[in-house]
Chain A
Amino acid sequence: MTLDLLTPVGALIGLLPEIVLTLTSLVVLLVIAFRHETIDDSLLAGRLSLVGIALAGVALSGLWYADITAAPGMIVLDAWRFAGSALILGIGFFTGLTSLRFLTQQRLFAPEFHVLLLFALIGMLLMTAAQDLMVLFISLEIMSVSVYVLVGFDRFRRSSAEAALKYFLIGAFASGFLLYGIALTWGATGATQYGPIAVKLSASTVFTLAKLGLGLLLIGFAFKVAAAPFHMWAPDVYDGAPTPITGFMATGVKAAAFIALGRMLMIAFPALKPQWQPVVGVLAVLTILVGNVVALAQHSLKRMLAYSSVAHAGYLLVGIWTGSEMGMTAVLVYLASYCLTTGACFGILLAVERLGSRTVLIDDLEGLFSVRPWAALAMAVCIFSLLGFPGTFGFIGKWNLVTAALAEGNWILPLALVAGSAISIGYYLPVVMAMTLKPTRAKEAHRQVQFSPAMRSLIALAAAGILLFGVWPNEVQSIASLGAKALVDLQLSALVGR
């Protein structure tokens, strides 16, 4: 079925998941206007928003399976968007669920948390759909503003407020770059939609203005995905934010930014590929090296994961660098593996932190295996997957990236990726080592590590998924290649169709 996005019905259907989420958030807002004091109120809001996310998922899969298409306008309906949105909704659901108990435990009875989470998700979904620099900017701001607040949500802790302020200042700065980049691109091409931009750029000699605009856009994105040297904010913010939100930022925000960045570079700026490729390549190498090397020095598990997520952003940039169908497939597969693994990691971390009541050093994990064997096992699976061990999903992701980069005839990026993985064993292995090989020091502390039934099954599912997709990645692979193919088709049609 083909929609006309310019008609009201067409726009309604084309934005169905976003609209479902918006309606849910309005309902939740309405409910919490009357009930916002007790634990139960917070739980109610949380559960309502989970239902909303699930409904949005249903709407999304409806769009996907009905194979609804539309001529690209300000937004697109294609497999790249659907795959990205599905990933983000999954992350949103996981975050919502982990937050439920966290909020009660921390006595943060503010149901607004869930509304903000929904707002952030709306922004992210729009980011995956955006085919227009203005839509991109607005959706990115919807996401960012919500996340600024969420980061500072733990109002009893100063570090949370500090993180929120830092994130806000840096984020505003990055938005400035982004907006200025958009303005310059518009000045050079007279368009904000990706298709016309691409046509304009390929038709004439490229203005310096456009290059400048693209450069600023890249800087803005580099801030958002925490690519070195624009990563300085990430560790402090990740460390200070409430743990479920840290997980949300490390997975959801990053995924949305990469999906949007991939679309922007592929559709709007193919003509400037010779210009952006080296920039992205340098960013990738720097990010891989900085993220991995600095992670080596961390003692706090959360901070280590923060730096490791910087390193993983570097790996993902290798996929973006290729600008090829294979590379975009790799980006999607890697995002799926990284988000699944990191999400599970943060879920376990949350339990080990006893829902936010302490900072967990890597040494604090010592002997976890003998008291909580399943949790330790799941964590070990996650760590091996982050490390990129064969048999885990993470390996499939890295494999895709290496293959894609080598297919472009580049040696440096795959070697940087491999070198990064080699360094990363230096900080990942101690986690496994502490859990399994070291004697138990704090048995009592470990006994208090508990999982709610829902969390337990989610984490078990995630660990099983990591192993399953590590051995049988075919389905993920074909979905990802559908997404990448959609992007490449769109790139071609944007250039040829006009």
Chain B
Amino acid sequence: MQAFLASIHYSEWILHTLLLLPLAGVVAVLLSPVPWARWLAAAVAGTELLLSLGLWWAFDAANGEVQFRFHADWIPQYGIGYAIGLDGISLFMVLLSTTMMPLLVVGGWNSIQTKQRGYYALLMALKTGMIGVFVALDLFLFYCFWELLLIPMYFLIGVWGGTRRVAAATQFVVYTFVGSLLMLVSVVAMVRVVGDATGVYSFDYAYLLEHRALLAPSAPWLFTGFALAFAVKVPLFPFHTWLPDAHVEAPTAGSVDLAVILLKMGTYGFLRFAVPFFPTFALSEGTATLFTSLAVAGIVVAALVAMVQKDIKRIIAYSSVSHLGFVMLGIWAGTVESVQGAIIIMLAHGVSSAALFFLIGMIQERRKSRLISDFGGLATYAPRLTTAFVLTSFAAIGLPGLSGFTGEFLVLLGSWGRYPIATAIATTVVVWSAAYLLWAIKRMFFNPLVHEEIREVKDLDSRELVVVVPLVLAMLWIGLYPKPFLSRTESAARHFVEQVAPHYPGQPAALAEAAQ
């Protein structure tokens, strides 16, 4: 496989193609007749997935550095370039988004009846933005992709969403826009600080990272700018309030993209930018305590809030907050295991929450409701649906053998040495999430039948199985045989740890900086 990929110069064109293909799809969909829209979208999505699969083999697992690197000048006056690349952290995020795309198209095949062209065009524009965020290695480019995502998401929620969609869409955009404006100032200021010292003003990620020592004096301000933008996206407690509303009001595709990709952009931002750029400040005692306690608070509070929700979609939304808290803990712990665990949770949560949101979408299409009290006894009438839902929930809870377990276990293992108390509290989440998910499952699927309409509910048809089965298989794969995933993330995690480890309080780099 590697030989074949090398023979077609795969590594040279793949990332550009992945970025441009959906954009071409946007134009094609907008210009073609309405009935073609979903077919075109499916074609683009399928091609994109097929092309991206090559990354699995072309990616050199032993290499912790950025691969598939490409750099071209864009706005040379300001040192802005079109720099892209891929490493073990972004590889799975890119694969995750290319995998989701065909599923989203197939999953929404019949449910989107209005304004199909716009819907599929936005879906594809969203995809370019998502892949762009994960491959961009120029801070200007990154910021552009980061912000561009807002527009398609705004319209996806606002046009095809639920009854309170306009409010939810507005809240989403305002929150994230305001958050990221501060990042903009940080980015510009950072380039300024480095440029003033070295004479070269460049937004290139590698260049800035190389000279990060120059950033140390202004690190508190710069880090805050980045951290606020990312924390809103993660969402870190207490910035999470936009998420449940956005999730509940968004159409299924919007929810899936939100949960699978958009939330990961926040944790990815911490992993890629905020922590490596300002390690000494980020890992100093005060900041670390703040972030780990916010992460743990998020884990626990979100789990508790999830327990009392009446709407199943809201439960899953809060569970996302809870899971992403784990990722944050893993990043701050900064051991190879915990960072790898964080990346694997990002992947596993992507798969399981996608499946859950798809299933909820299917349930909602059948019953026209998501309130738990409107269900009961579904298991008898929709056994396949029930099996899939229960399996996915187990994966989300973190049952051994399923995807959720691998990452959470690694994070707990890796974080214990560094933050024992936080880790101990975080561990209890397994209990919490089991509680709210199993309780919801019991009430929806197994309680005695009270609503006669449940009898009418059809089981999953073959189209829906096409969406759900691959996700379930992926959960089993990550849970039972995580080696391919671990081997591909290990070097990147190690690279990250090597960068930040000397900056923990008491470590040489931190001491040197304090001495200055």
* Residues of chain B in range 59-100 having any CB-CB distance to chain A below 8 Å: 75-78
A429 touches B192 (CB 8 A): no
Taking CB atoms, residues of chain A closer than 8 Å to B221 are 411
Q: C-beta contact mask, A106-135 vs B, less than 8 Å → 1, else 0? A: 000000000000000000000000000000
Known contacts A415-B185, A436-B155; A422/B192 CB under 8 A: no
Say whether A481 faces chain B, with CB atoms less than 8 Å apart. Answer: yes
Interface residue A208 (Cβ < 8 Å from any Cβ of B): no
CB distance from B121 to the nearest CB of A (A): 11
Determine whether the beta carbon of A436 is less than 8 Å from that of B158.
yes
B438 is an interface residue with CB less than 8 A from chain A? no
Partner of A403 from B78, B165, B181 at Cβ < 8 Å:
B78
Asked if B147 lies at the interface with its beta carbon under 8 angstroms from chain A, I say: yes
Cβ-based interface call for B381 (8 A): no
Stretch at the interface among B172-180, B321-329, B419-427, B499-507: B172-180
How far is the CB of B366 from the nearest CB of chain A, in Å?
A: 27
The answer to whether residues A425 and B178 also contact, given A402-B184, A414-B185, A415-B185 and a CB cut-off of 8 A, is yes
Select one of A391, A402, A415, A421 contacting B144, CB under 8 A.
A391
Structural contact, B147 and A390, CB atoms closer than 8 A: yes
Task: Assess the B170–A429 pair: CB atoms within 8 A.
Answer: yes
Q: Which of A418, A436, A474 contacts B182 (CB 8 A)?
A: A418
CA distance A481 to B76 in the complex (A): 13
Is the Cβ of B77 less than 8 Å from the Cβ of A477?
A: yes
Question: How many of A's residues come within 8 Å of B, CB to CB?
Answer: 28
* In the complex, chain B residues whose CB is within 8 Å of the CB of A402: 184-185, 188
Q: Is the CB of A425 within 8 A of B173?
A: yes
User: Across the two chains, which residue of chain B brings its CB closest to A414?
Assistant: B185
Q: Which listed residue, B169, B177, B182, B185, touches A437 by the CB 8 Å rule? A: B169
Any A CB within 8 A of the CB of B112:
no
Report which of A391, A399, A437, A474 forms a contact with B148, defined as CB distance below 8 A: A391
A401, B181: Cα distance in complex, Å: 14
Chain A 435-474 interface mask (CB, 8 Å, partner B; 1/0): 0111000000000000000000000000000000000011
Tell me, rounded to whole Å, the shortest Cβ–Cβ distance linking A98 to chain B.
28
| Min C-beta distance of B485 to chain A, whole Å | 33
Contact of B166 among A390, A406, A426, A433 (CB under 8 A): A433
**Contact in complex: A433, B170 (CB < 8 Å):** yes
Size class of the B contact interface (CB-based, 8 Å): 20 to 34
Per-position binary interface string of chain A over residues 74-88, scored 1 when its CB falls under 8 Å from any chain B CB and 0 otherwise: 000000000000000
A384 contacts chain B at the CB level, 8 A cutoff: yes
Name the residue on A nearest B158 (C-beta).
A437
Chain A residues in 8 Å Cβ range of B143: 390
Task: Judge if B189 is at the interface, Cβ distance under 8 Å.
Answer: yes
A276 within 8 A of B: no
Given known pairs A390-B144, A390-B148, A436-B158, the reply for A418 and B170 (CB within 8 Å) is no
Report A85 CB to chain B, min CB distance, Å.
Answer: 23
A407 near B77: Cβ-Cβ < 8 Å: no
> Is the CB–CB distance between B158 and A389 below 8 Å?
no
Given the interface pairs A425-B173, A425-B177, the reply to whether A403 lies near B158 with Cβ below 8 Å is no
**Are A418 and B181 in contact, CB atoms less than 8 angstroms apart?**
yes
B189 and chain A: residue at smallest CB distance: A406
* Closest chain A CB from B168 CB (angstroms): 11
Q: Does A478 contact B (CB under 8 A)?
A: yes
Which of A389, A406, A426, A429 is within 8 Å of B147, CB to CB? A389
Q: Determine the residue in chain B with the shortest Cβ distance to A470.
A: B144
Query: B81: shortest Cβ distance to chain A, in Å?
Result: 12
A478-B77, A481-B77 known; A406 vs B192 contact (CB < 8 Å): yes
Inter-chain CA distance A473–B140, complex, in Å, is 13
> How many angstroms from the CA of A421 to the CA of B147 in the assembled complex?
14
Task: Determine how close the nearest CB of chain B comes to the CB of A249; give it in whole angstroms.
Answer: 29
Q: Determine chain A's interface SS by DSSP, over half rule.
A: helix
Chain B residues in 8 Å Cβ range of A421 = 181
Residue-wise interface mask of A (308-322) relative to B, using a CB-CB cutoff of 8 A (1 in contact, 0 not) = 000000000000000
Give Cα A390–Cα B129 distance, bound, in whole angstroms.
12
Report yes or no: B158 in contact with A474, Cβ–Cβ below 8 A: no
Q: Which B residues are CB-close (under 8 A) to A437?
A: 155, 158-159, 165-166, 169
- Provide the bound-state CA to CA distance between A123 and B287, in Å: 58
Q: In the complex the two chains form, is B75's CB within 8 Å of A473's CB?
A: yes
| B151 in contact (CB, < 8 A) | yes
Taken together as a complex, chains A and B put the C-alpha atoms of A77 and B278 apart, in Å, by: 48
Task: Check if A474 sits within 8 Å of B166, measured CB to CB.
Answer: no
In the bound assembly, the distance between CA atoms of A68 and B152 in angstroms comes to: 49
Contact code string A412-438 (vs B, CB < 8 Å = 1, else 0): 001100100110011001000100111
Contact B159 A436 (CB under 8 A): yes
Q: Are B147 and A474 in contact, with the CB atoms below 8 A?
A: no
Q: In the complex, A86 Cα to B409 Cα: how many Å? A: 65
Is A399 a contact of B188 with CB atoms below 8 Å? yes
B62 to chain A, nearest CB (A): 36
Q: Which of B75, B148, B174 contacts A477 (CB 8 A)?
A: B75
Given A402-B184, A403-B192, A384 and B151 contact (CB-CB distance below 8 Å): yes
How distant is the Cα of A433 from the Cα of B154 in the complex, in angstroms? 9
List residues of chain A with CB within 8 A of the CB of B158: 433, 436-437
Also in contact, A425 and B174, with CB within 8 A (given A436-B158, A437-B166, A478-B77): yes
Residues of B with C-beta under 8 A to A414: 185, 188-189
Q: How far is the CA of A478 from the CA of B77 in the complex (A)?
A: 8
Complex alpha-carbon distance, A407 and B166, angstroms: 40
CB distance from B50 to the nearest CB of A (A): 28
Nearest residue, chain B, Cβ from A437: B158
Could you say which of B150, B173, B189 has the most chain A C-beta atoms within 10 Å of its C-beta?
B189
A421-B185 Cα distance, complex, nearest whole Å = 12
Bound: A478/B173 CA distance, A: 33
Bound: A390/B144 CA distance, A: 5
Q: Using A403-B78, A406-B188, A433-B166 as known contacts, say yes or no to A426 and B151 having CB atoms under 8 A apart.
A: no
Contact of B188 among A403, A426, A477 (CB under 8 A): A403
B179-237 interface with A by 8 A CB criterion: 181-182, 184-185, 188-189, 192, 221
Question: From residue B329, how far is it (CB to closest CB) to chain A in Å?
Answer: 30
Asked whether A422 lies within 8 Å of B184 as measured between CB atoms, the reply is: no
B317 to chain A, nearest CB (A): 21
User: In whole angstroms, how far apart are the Cα atoms of A390 and B138 in the complex?
Assistant: 14
Report Cα–Cα, A436/B192, bound state, in Å.
39
Distance in angstroms from A427 CB to nearest chain B CB is 12
CA of A477 to CA of B155 in the docked complex: distance in angstroms?
32
Cα(A433)–Cα(B173), bound, Å? 11
B513 to chain A, nearest CB (A): 22
21 A-B interface contacts by CB (under 8 A): A384-B151, A389-B151, A390-B143, A390-B147, A390-B148, A391-B144, A391-B148, A395-B144, A406-B188, A406-B189, A422-B181, A425-B174, A425-B177, A433-B166, A437-B158, A437-B165, A437-B166, A474-B75, A474-B76, A478-B77, A481-B77
Having A390-B148, A426-B174, A436-B158, one finds 10 other A-B pairs with CB under 8 Å, namely A389-B150, A402-B184, A402-B185, A411-B189, A421-B181, A422-B181, A425-B173, A429-B173, A438-B166, A477-B77
State the 9 A-B residue pairs at the shortest beta-carbon distance, nearest first: A390-B144, A437-B158, A390-B147, A422-B178, A418-B181, A406-B192, A402-B188, A437-B166, A403-B188
- By a beta-carbon cutoff of 8 Å, the part of chain B in contact with chain A is 75-78, 143-144, 146-148, 150-151, 155, 158-159, 165-166, 169-170, 173-174, 177-178, 181-182, 184-185, 188-189, 192, 221
- Taking beta carbons and an 8 Å cutoff, which residues of A are in contact with B? 384, 389-391, 395, 399, 402-403, 406-407, 411, 414-415, 418, 421-422, 425-426, 429, 433, 436-438, 473-474, 477-478, 481
